[in-house]
């Protein structure tokens, strides 16, 4: 298990990296792509489309921006407290930092502009347009869940009572 300073550094670094990559990518899109214009990156796979999203991740929940800001704040506080107080492996701490960083990235947009800049388009399927913050949140959740399942299973196996030597 990682020490508290190591956990907090891993958590903080992941969150800062997520926010930085998200904000830099959104700034580039706002400066270089006209609103609504589609540009193909990888033909028939991935494109860029500059849109303004007043909803949640993947353009869902239109018009509930302040609710999403509140949710992002609560998730940030909960994850920070968990990382601070619990002995967790870095393999779980870093994904939690990614989740928090992605949430903060979108929160910065909502509070500063009243909308989130989305721009990533999966051109091979009908899927909402999203951004780098959404990627960090989604991947962070999936990785944290898988790591938690493996970590929990390993700890249950270590603490499981054995039947050796007991009469049935």
Enzyme catalytic residues: 118, 134
Q: Which of 97, 105, 95, 93 is nearest to 141 (CA)?
A: 95
- By the 10 Å C-beta count (0-12 exposed, 13-18 middle, 19+ buried), 128 is classed as middle
User: How far is it, in rounded angstroms, from Cα 7 to Cα 87?
Assistant: 8
> 76-83 long-range CB contacts below 8 Å, 24 or more apart?
76/100, 76/103, 76/104, 79/11, 80/11, 83/7, 83/8, 83/11
Q: Helices H, strands E: what count in the chain? A: 4, 3
Kindly state the tokens that stand for 117: 């800049």
């Amino acid at each position: 298990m990682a020490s508290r300073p190591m956990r907090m550094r891993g958590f903080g670094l992941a969150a800062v990296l997520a926010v930085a990559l998200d904000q830099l990518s959104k700034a580039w899109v706002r400066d270089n792509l006209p609103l609504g214009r589609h540009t193909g990156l990888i033909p028939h796979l991935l494109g860029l489309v500059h849109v303004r999203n007043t909803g949640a991740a993947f353009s869902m929940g239109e018009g509930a921006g302040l609710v999403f800001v509140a949710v992002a704040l609560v998730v940030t506080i909960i994850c920070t407290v968990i990382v601070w107080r619990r002995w967790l492996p870095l393999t779980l701490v870093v994904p939690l930092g990614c989740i928090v960083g992605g949430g903060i990235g979108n929160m910065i947009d909502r509070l500063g502009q009243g909308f989130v800049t989305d721009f990533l388009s999966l051109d091979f399927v009908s899927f909402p347009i999203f951004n780098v913050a959404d990627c960090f949140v989604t991947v962070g959740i999936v990785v944290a869940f898988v790591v938690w399942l493996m970590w929990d299973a390993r700890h249950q196996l270590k603490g499981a009572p054995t039947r050796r030597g007991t009469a049935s």
